[in-house]
Amino acid sequence: MQFGNAVNAGSPSANVKDGVGGIVILADWGVGGCAVEMDMELPASAVRALTADARPAALITGASSGIGAALAHVFAQNGHEVVLTARRAPQMANVASNIRAAGHRAHTISCDLSRPDSAECIAREMAALNLEPSFIVNNAGYGLLGPAATLDRGDQLAMIDLNCRTLTELSLRFIPSLARHRGGILNVASISGFIPGPGMSVYNASKAYVLSFSVGLRRELQPKGIRVTALCPGPVPTEFQARAGILDVHYPRGFDRPAEDVAREGYKGLMRNRAVVVPGLHNKLVPWLPRFLPRSFIASLVYGRLRRWEDA
């Protein structure tokens, strides 16, 4: 999971080089500081036409690096036209360029997903591309390490907005198109959602919400033929750790997994209509802990591993 820097939303339009072959992409900033990047192989008239037969695409949030970028590659490799959205336009453009270089279709929408109007921005820009979601991958999110009472309250509330509110809005907004294409939703949670996490209390609680929401929504959407899967990875070496302030916490051997492995297992689980996917044998033990150990005891164990911020 990644959380990047906002793009410059003050300019109505710009030309952006994608970093591969010097290709120039036309970008138009729209609602909520969004910028849309088009596959330049498509005619402009086809891209801008708003028709009833919009093409299906997989929408992937937080796709500028890490798990999100890996998921974008996996969906593209499996024949899906992909739409990447995140705040960091240059990094996202490079991911999209690599996907196109492999012969697949990819578009980007630069958007601050923590904004209340971000879903409206995405819907408008996808319509301008004559696309509609057949799959939604809610990967964008971040965590913060430290005691909740002393961490910046605004940052923690913004974390809830991104990890929970935006994920919920995107999951619910496009249900008609998901049903038309008998597609699905992949919500990236975490093994942290199964246990209390003193030292990352708000983050763990937000991922518990994602897990519970996804399993409940899955049952509600079954009659519509929509799959919903919660992907619950353990530690993954990405920019998430630096953003969270996790600089010197070492995890037991066997719990961390590469982003590419996590993405492949998440995609496979979604296609097989699994409710919850926990990549890695060691990580599969975590959901069982609350069944055998008191939550207060688990909280003390987690606190012992994450309390290094107290010694700083």
**Burial of residue 177 (number of CB atoms within 10 Å: 0-12, 13-18, 19+):** buried
Reduced 3-state DSSP string for the chain: CCCCCCCCCCCCEEEEECCCCCCEEEEEECHHHCEEECCCCCCHHHHHCCCCCCEEEEEEECCCCHHHHHHHHHHHHCCCCEEEEECCHHHHHHHHHHHHHCCCCEEEEECCCCCCCHHHHHHHHHHHCCEEEEEEEECCCCCCCCCCCCCCHHHHHHHHHHHHHHHHHHHHHCHHHHHHCCCEEEEECCHHHHCCCCCCHHHHHHHHHHHHHHHHHHHHHHHHCCEEEEECCCCCCCCHHHHHCCCCCCCCCCCCCCHHHHHHHHHHHHHCCCCEECCCCCHHHHHHHHHHCCHHHHHHHHHHHHCHHHHC
Q: Catalytic residue at 209?
A: no
Q: Which of 142, 203, 209, 267 is catalytic?
A: 203
User: Can you read off the two tokens belonging to residue 288?
Assistant: 């069982």
The set of catalytic residues is 203
